[in-house]
Amino acid sequence: MRKAPLFIFDLDNTLYPPVVPLWRIVDARIERYVQEHLGTDPDTARSLRKEFLAEFGTTLRGLMHHHDVRPDHYLEYVHDVPVPEIVPPRPELGGMLAALPGRRVVFTNGSEGYARRVLDALGVSEMMDGIYGIEFMEYVAKPSP
């Protein structure tokens, strides 16, 4: 018996278009987190983020490794955005997802809770068979070797 296909979707700038400013807002909050929690200026925060991205794949992993930052605290802070005010519903997306002949899951470097809020705003939560946030991968970002 042949199994139904599995469709894996990224979240940010994939299930909603890049013109929606959500990721830019989250990105700015990441930079602000580095500034506030490490007591750095904006230039130093940007430089640290570049280093962390190159070495660890995410700012979060670098902060965890070098500064013992708790991932739950970081994710709560950076994803504390009014998602429903930023992300408009996409009824056409629901129709496209419904037409796929298999299971549909979201796999994101964001937290599972954040992903749920975005999917709710898009109006497609019910279309997903699973949501895998960065917690699922023990805070190792995709892509990862």
Contact indicator for 119, 125 with CB cutoff of 8 Å: yes
Closest CA to 16 of 80, 100, 88: 88
Q: What pLDDT is attached to residue 142?
A: 86
Tokens of 39: 């007591």
pTM reported for the whole predicted model: 0.91
pLDDT at 145 over 60: no
The predicted-structure confidence for 97-137, as pLDDT tens digits, reads as follows: 999 999 999 999 999 999 999 999 999 999 999 999 999 99
Domain 23-78 maps to which CATH number in 1.10.150.450, 1.10.10.10, 3.90.1150.10, 3.30.450.20?
Answer: 1.10.150.450
In the beta sheet, which residues pair with residue 130?
105
The pLDDT confidence band at residue 144, using thresholds 50, 70 and 90, is: confident
The predicted-structure confidence for 39-67, as pLDDT tens digits, reads as follows: 999 999 999 999 999 999 999 999 999 99
pLDDT at 1 over 80: no
- What is the DSSP code string of 42-76? HHHHHHHHHHHHHHHSSHHHHHHHHH---HHHHHH
Q: What pLDDT is attached to residue 143?
A: 81
The predicted-structure confidence for 8-33, as pLDDT tens digits, reads as follows: 999 999 999 999 999 999 999 999 99
